[in-house]
Structure 1
Amino acid sequence: MAGQLCAILPRCAPPGTGSRRTSRREGEKARRREMARRRRTRADDGDLDPRALHESGNGPGRHFARETVQAFLDLDYPHCPPAIRRSVADAVSRRTWAPHARLAQATGIVLGNFARHQFTDYDDLLDYHGLAKDEARLVVEDEMRDVLASWRRGRPD
């Protein structure tokens, strides 16, 4: 009887297969599983560096060459001390970034973290004053932005 109804109603799925939405969802899951299996196989075969797989599972991560990062820092943050620029360039080039990450975003994240921890009272606010990360970040945000701005355009006279 159900088979006869499916022949009459074109949108009806065959008995026992579920709705169209469910079958589409299952198909998408199967495709994602197959893609993940292929990535693992390529990594096992040596075609892909397993460290290059981004932790989000969205495929290969993005890496930036140290020289490229150093050149970007030299242009965009000319007043940043050279030792800090070298340290930041090393940190950005060592890390595996999300596949869609841009050099400016990656550099901004590392520079912001460096400025927050080295040039503000952020760690003291966490350790001694018992603030949560979000609260401590709000407290030091202006100071951190001032440090980054001074590296970008130089210290105001």
Structure 2
Amino acid sequence: MPGCPRTHRDKIVRRVSSRTWQDCTIGNAVGICSHNYIRHRLTDYETWLYRHKLERDEARLIVKEELDEIFQSWQKPGLNKR
């Protein structure tokens, strides 16, 4: 993900490398960790969960567009968000 800011990239790399990935390509592992990182660190997902007492699926739906936008921007060099 060439557009991912270095500080975020380093944290995502640590998360990917700290787990054992069975039946998963490195690309899928990076995608999973990136989505989780963006959701929990760069959106209001946890606010929706804990302050507003929403279920995970509801909170995920609310932040999905923002998450997708950030993730897509990270896949393009020089167009990074956050």
- Give TM-score scaled by structure 1 length: 0.48
Q: Gapped runs of 5+ residues in structure 1?
A: 1-76
In the TM superposition, residue 89 of structure 1 has moved relative to its aligned partner by 0.8
- Say which of 43, 49, 54 aligns to 1:120: 43
- Say which of 15, 19, 31 aligns to 1:95: 19
Aligned-pair identity in percent equals 38
* CA deviation vs aligned residue, 1:78-134 (integer Å, no higher than 9, x gap): 111111111111110110112x11011100010001100111110000011110001
1:140 aligns with 2:60: no
Aligned residue-pair number: 78
User: How far apart are the structure 2 equivalents of 1:116 and 1:94?
Assistant: 19
User: How far apart are the structure 1 equivalents of 2:8 and 2:28?
Assistant: 17
> Partner letter of residue 151 of structure 1?
W
RMSD over equivalenced CA pairs, Å:
1.0
User: How far apart are the structure 2 equivalents of 1:105 and 1:79?
Assistant: 17
User: How far apart are the structure 1 equivalents of 2:19 and 2:31?
Assistant: 14
1:83 aligns with 2:14: no
Aligned twin of 1:67: none
Q: Gapped runs of 5+ residues in structure 2?
A: none
In the TM superposition, residue 150 of structure 1 has moved relative to its aligned partner by 1.0
Question: Which of the pair has more CA radius of gyration?
Answer: 1
Task: Report 1:47-62 matches (<5 A).
Answer: none
Aligned twin of 1:106: 29
User: How far apart are the structure 1 equivalents of 2:3 and 2:28?
Assistant: 19
- Give TM-score scaled by structure 2 length: 0.89
